[in-house]
C-alpha cells in the first residue's frame, strides 16, 4: 500500500479523552475514533490489526476442533427468561422492544443462544463433543466505560461453547480451549499469566482468566513466586491465621459520639485498624445478613455471595441498618445482633477487640468471641500483599492485570435450565455438560499496545502488525531513491508481505515519526547511499540501524520475520 493513499489520520497531540497509553496511541496512530461514550469505530489501520488478531484466534480455535458460526446479536427475551438471566443482568443489558411490543436484548453474552440452538439438533452422545464459536458483537451498558476499547459498551468477543457427554469430556474440551488461548496470546506477543477465577456458587466447577500484567489493569492478581499459585482477587484464598487467642480484658461500652469511620475510631481509641472488627450489613436476595472482617481488611463480596448462595448481594440501606441493628450506619457489631452473622477467619483469632454496640454513638471495647453471636466463620476477605500463599505458605505478591480471556466450566447450569439433553449409550436422557470461553478482541489489541510501546509510539509484534515493513524514500524528488524504493516495495509485495511505501512528499523526519507512531516492525530507508546500492535497515524495537546492500534485504527480512 502507498502511504499517500492511506486513510490513517495520525495526531501529534495527546488526546484529552485518553488516560492510558494504549488508548492515547490508538487515537494518535489513527486506529480508532470515539463515536459516543464507550463506543468506538475502527479506522483502516486499526481494523487491519483487529483482523490479524481475529485470524490468529480463528486458526488456533480451528486447530482445536472449534467450528465457527454466527449467531444474531438480537436475542428474544424468552430464552433469557428460560435460563433465569433476564432479571439477573440488570442495567448492564441493553433491552428493547419490537414494533409488536415483544421484548429483546442486545446480547451481552451468548450461553442461551448456543444452548437453545443445539438442543433439539443434537440428540445422541454420538454427536458429542461439539465446540462452537463465533467472533461477534456484544453489548454491555458498562457502568464505567473507560480506557477506550479496553472497556467499551459495544465490543467484539470471540465466544465459544463446548457441549460434552460427561465431566471427562468437559475436561478435554476445556484443556483444548486452554491450549488454544495460550497459543493465541503467545502469537499476539503478550506476556500473560493464567489465574484461577471464581466460578460462582451454582454450577461451574472451574474457571481461569488470562491476565496480561499491566499497571493499568483493572483486576488484581495474587501470585506466589515459590509455587506458582495465581488467582484473581475475587478467588484468591486467604488462609486462617494460627495465632493464639489471649484475652485479658472484659467487655466495656464506650461513648463514641459521631465517630463512625475506622479512621476516626483509631484516633479516638489510639489504636490500629486491625484491633477493630468491622461489621457490614448486607441484603442477600431477601435476607439481611451481617459480615464481620478485621478493620484493616476489605470484604470480598464474591466470597460472601458464594457462601450465601444468593443471586444478588448489596449493602443494606440506612433504613434497613437501623431496623436490624437499632443504630445508625457505623455502629453495627456482632454483640447481641439478631441477624445471621458471618465473620472472616481472621476474626476467629482476635481478642480484646472493638466493635460497634448496635446503638448510635456507642462502641464496645475489649470484646471477645464469647460476647458475640457469630454463626459462621469463613474466608470472606480480600487477599493482600504478604498474605500466606494458600498452597505453600510463602508470602504472596499482588499485581494488576488486564483480563483478556476467560475460560469457564459451566457444567449443566444452562443445559438443565434450557432442556439441552442427549441420550447416552444406554438410552438414558442426560443434560449436556457445557463450558464457555471468551476473548475480547479489541481489549487484546489494547493490551498488546500497553506491553509494546515507547515514547515514540506503538511497537507491533510481528504477528499482529498491520504492515510488516515500511519502505521510506528520504527524498521523493530524487529519481534514484524513488526507483530503488519502488523496486524494493514491489519485491517485498511479490513475496506476499504486507508492505507500506511512504511515497509522500514529506520531510524524512515526519515520515520517521509516523512510522514509529504506527509501529511498523521493519523500516527500510532509501537515502543518500542509494547510489552505492545501500539502504538503512532498522527494526522498530531496536535503537540502532544498519546500512545493508539492497541485495541482502530479502535474507535479512526472512531472518527477522521468520519467513522460510
Ligand atoms: P470484566 O471483569 O473485565 O468486566 P467480564 O468478566 O465481564 O470482564 P467475560 O464476560 O468473561 O468478561 O467476557 C470475556 C472477555 O470479553 C473478557 O475476558 C474481556 O476480554 C472481554 N470483555 C468483557 N467486557 C468487555 C468490555 N466491556 N469491553 C471490551 N472487552 C470486554
Ligand atoms: Mg464485565
> What are the DSSP calls for 400-439, one per residue?
EEEEEEEEEEEETHHHHHTT-EEE-TTS-EEEPEEEEEEE
Kindly indicate the confidence band of residue 191, based on its pLDDT and cuts at 50, 70 and 90: very high
**Distance, CA of 402 to CA of 177 (rounded, Å):** 19
**Distance, CA of 224 to CA of 210 (rounded, Å):** 16
**Distance, CA of 512 to CA of 515 (rounded, Å):** 5
With CA atoms as reference, report the closest residue to 261 among 285, 278, 241.
Answer: 278
**Distinct helix (H) and strand (E) counts, the chain:** 14, 31
Q: Which ligand has an atom closest to residue 142 CA?
A: 1
**Ligand 1 shell residues, CB under 6 Å:** 109, 140, 142, 151-152, 155, 157, 403-406, 438-440, 443
Residue minimizing CA distance to atom 2 of ligand 1: 403
Lowest-pLDDT choice from 2-6, 53-57, 267-271: 267-271
Q: Ligand 1: which atom is nearest the Cα of residue 209?
A: 18
Lowest-pLDDT choice from 85-94, 361-370, 401-410, 526-535: 85-94
Q: Ligand 1: which atom is nearest the Cα of residue 157?
A: 16
**Chain position carrying cell 464506650:** 254
Percent of the chain with pLDDT over 90: 93
Kindly indicate the confidence band of residue 297, based on its pLDDT and cuts at 50, 70 and 90: very high
Q: Ligand 1: which atom is nearest the Cα of residue 159?
A: 14
pLDDT, tens digit, 9 for 90 and up, residues 96-144: 999 999 999 999 999 999 999 999 899 999 999 999 999 999 999 999 9
Q: What is the pLDDT of residue 523?
A: 98
**Distance, CA of 115 to CA of 121 (rounded, Å):** 10
**Distance, CA of 406 to CA of 322 (rounded, Å):** 41
**Distance, CA of 285 to CA of 279 (rounded, Å):** 19
Kindly indicate the confidence band of residue 260, based on its pLDDT and cuts at 50, 70 and 90: confident
Round the CA-based radius of gyration of the chain to a whole number and report it.
29
Q: What is the pLDDT of residue 205?
A: 75
Q: What is the pLDDT of residue 564?
A: 44
Average pLDDT, the chain: 95
Looking at residue 361, the DSSP 8-state letter turns out to be T
Could you tell me where the beta strands, DSSP code E, fall in 298-344? Answer: 313-315, 341-344
Higher-pLDDT residue of 458, 17: 458
- What are the C-alpha distances in Å from 27 to residues 142, 341, 451? 21, 50, 17
* Residue 494 pLDDT exceeds 50: yes
Inter-residue contact 337 to 290 (CB < 8 Å): yes
Q: Which of 406, 409, 442, 448 to mutate to test the pocket of ligand 1 (most atoms within 8 A of CB)?
A: 406
Q: Give 269-280 as a DSSP string.
A: HTS-GGGBEEEE
| Strand (E) or helix (H) holding 303 | helix 301-308
Inter-residue contact 391 to 224 (CB < 8 Å): yes
Could you tell me where the beta strands, DSSP code E, fall in 123-187? Answer: 130-139, 154-164
* Positive or negative torsion for Cα 542, 548, 550, 556: negative
Domain 17-189+414-449 has CATH 3.30.930.10: yes
Q: What is the pLDDT of residue 202?
A: 57
Q: What is the pLDDT of residue 311?
A: 85
**Distance, CA of 194 to CA of 181 (rounded, Å):** 10
Inter-residue contact 179 to 64 (CB < 8 Å): yes
Q: What is the pLDDT of residue 203?
A: 58
Q: What is the pLDDT of residue 246?
A: 85
Expressed in angstroms and rounded, the spacing between residue 400 Cα and the centre of ligand 2 is 16
Inter-residue contact 107 to 139 (CB < 8 Å): yes
Residue minimizing CA distance to atom 30 of ligand 1: 440
Q: What is the pLDDT of residue 201?
A: 62
Q: Ligand 1: which atom is nearest the Cα of residue 405?
A: 18
Percent of the chain with pLDDT over 70: 99
Q: Which ligand has an atom closest to residue 92 CA?
A: 2
Q: Ligand 1: which atom is nearest the Cα of residue 140?
A: 27
**Chain position carrying cell 478435554:** 172
pTM for this predicted structure: 0.93
Q: Which residues pair with 162 in a beta bridge?
A: 131, 435
* Residue 563 pLDDT exceeds 80: no
- What are the C-alpha distances in Å from 151 to residues 154, 185, 533? 9, 19, 49
Q: Which ligand has an atom closest to residue 135 CA?
A: 1
Expressed in angstroms and rounded, the spacing between residue 29 Cα and the centre of ligand 1 is 24
CATH homologous superfamily for the domain 252-378: YbaK/aminoacyl-tRNA synthetase-associated domain (3.90.960.10)
Kindly indicate the confidence band of residue 285, based on its pLDDT and cuts at 50, 70 and 90: very high
**Chain position carrying cell 484464598:** 237
Query: What's the gap between Cα 380 and its chain centre?
Result: 22
* Positive or negative torsion for Cα 13, 17, 21, 25: negative
Q: Which residues pair with 221 in a beta bridge?
A: 232, 399
Domain ranges of the chain: 17-189+414-449, 252-378, 467-561
Q: Which ligand has an atom closest to residue 144 CA?
A: 1
Choosing among 3.60.40.10, 3.40.50.800, 3.40.190.10, 3.50.50.60, the CATH entry for 467-561 is 3.40.50.800
Amino acid at each position: 500500500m502507498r502511504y499517500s493513499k492511506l486513510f490513517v489520520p495520525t495526531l501529534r497531540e495527546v488526546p484529552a479523552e485518553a488516560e492510558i497509553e494504549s488508548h492515547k496511541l490508538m487515537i494518535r496512530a489513527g486506529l480508532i475514533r470515539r463515536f459516543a461514550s464507550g463506543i468506538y469505530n475502527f479506522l483502516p489501520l486499526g481494523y487491519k490489526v483487529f483482523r490479524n488478531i481475529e485470524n490468529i484466534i480463528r486458526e488456533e480455535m480451528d486447530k482445536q476442533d472449534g467450528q465457527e458460526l454466527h449467531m444474531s446479536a438480537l436475542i428474544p427475551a424468552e430464552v433469557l427468561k428460560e435460563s433465569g438471566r433476564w432479571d439477573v443482568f440488570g442495567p448492564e443489558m441493553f433491552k428493547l422492544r419490537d414494533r409488536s411490543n415483544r421484548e429483546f436484548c442486545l446480547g451481552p453474552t451468548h450461553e442461551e443462544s448456543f444452548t437453545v440452538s443445539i438442543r433439539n439438533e443434537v440428540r445422541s452422545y454420538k454427536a458429542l463433543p461439539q465446540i462452537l464459536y463465533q467472533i461477534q458483537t456484544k453489548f454491555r451498558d458498562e457502568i464505567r466505560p473507560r480506557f477506550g476499547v479496553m472497556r467499551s459498551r459495544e465490543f467484539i468477543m470471540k465466544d465459544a461453547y463446548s457441549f460434552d457427554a460427561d465431566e471427562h469430556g468437559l475436561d478435554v474440551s476445556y484443556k483444548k480451549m486452554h491450549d488454544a488461548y495460550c497459543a493465541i496470546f503467545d502469537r499476539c506477543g503478550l506476556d500473560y499469566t493464567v489465574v484461577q477465577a471464581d466460578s460462582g456458587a451454582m454450577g461451574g466447577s472451574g474457571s481461569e482468566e488470562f491476565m496480561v500484567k499491566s499497571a493499568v489493569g483493572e483486576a488484581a492478581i495474587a501470585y506466589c513466586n515459590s509455587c506458582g499459585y495465581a488467582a484473581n482477587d475475587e478467588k484468591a484464598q486467604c488462609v486462617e491465621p494460627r495465632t493464639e487467642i489471649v484475652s485479658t480484658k472484659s467487655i466495656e461500652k464506650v461513648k463514641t459520639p459521631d465517630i463512625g469511620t475506622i479512621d476516626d475510631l483509631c484516633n479516638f481509641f489510639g489504636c490500629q485498624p486491625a484491633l477493630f472488627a468491622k461489621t457490614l450489613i448486607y441484603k442477600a436476595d431477601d435476607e439481611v445478613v451481617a459480615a464481620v472482617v478485621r478493620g484493616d481488611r476489605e470484604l470480598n463480596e464474591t466470597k460472601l455471595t458464594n457462601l450465601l448462595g444468593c443471586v444478588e448481594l448489596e449493602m443494606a440501606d440506612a433504613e434497613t441498618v437501623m431496623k436490624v441493628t437499632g443504630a445508625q450506619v457505623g455502629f453495627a457489631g456482632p454483640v447481641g445482633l439478631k441477624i445471621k452473622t458471618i465473620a472472616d477467619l481472621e476474626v476467629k483469632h482476635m481478642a480484646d477487640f472493638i466493635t460497634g454496640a448496635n446503638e448510635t454513638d456507642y462502641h464496645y471495647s475489649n470484646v471477645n468471641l464469647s460476647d458475640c453471636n457469630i454463626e459462621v466463620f469463613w474466608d470472606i476477605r480480600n487477599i493482600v500483599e504478604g498474605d500466606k500463599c494458600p498452597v505453600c505458605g510463602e508470602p504472596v505478591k499482588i499485581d494488576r492485570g488486564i483480563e483478556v480471556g476467560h475460560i469457564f466450566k459451566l457444567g449443566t447450569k444452562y443445559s438443565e435450565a434450557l432442556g439441552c439433553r442427549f441420550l447416552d449409550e444406554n438410552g438414558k436422557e442426560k443434560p449436556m455438560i457445557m463450558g464457555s470461553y471468551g476473548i475480547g478482541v479489541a481489549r487484546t489489541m489494547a493490551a498488546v499496545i500497553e506491553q509494546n510501546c515507547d515514547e515514540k509510539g506503538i511497537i507491533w509484534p510481528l504477528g499482529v502488525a498491520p504492515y510488516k515493513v515500511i519502505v521510506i524514500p528520504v527524498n521523493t524528488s530524487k529519481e534514484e531513491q524513488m526507483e530503488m524504493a519502488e523496486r524494493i516495495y514491489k519485491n517485498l509485495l511479490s513475496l506476499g508481505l504486507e508492505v507500506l511505501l511512504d511515497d509522500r512528499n514529506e520531510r524524512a523526519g515526519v515520515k520517521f515519526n509516523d512510522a514509529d507512531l504506527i509501529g511498523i516492525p521493519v523500516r527500510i530507508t532509501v537515502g543518500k547511499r542509494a547510489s552505492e546500492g545501500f539502504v538503512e535497515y532498522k527494526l522498530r524495537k531496536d535503537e540502532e540501524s544498519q546500512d545493508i546492500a539492497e541485495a541482502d534485504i530479502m535474507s535479512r527480512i526472512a531472518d527477522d520475520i521468520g519467513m522460510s
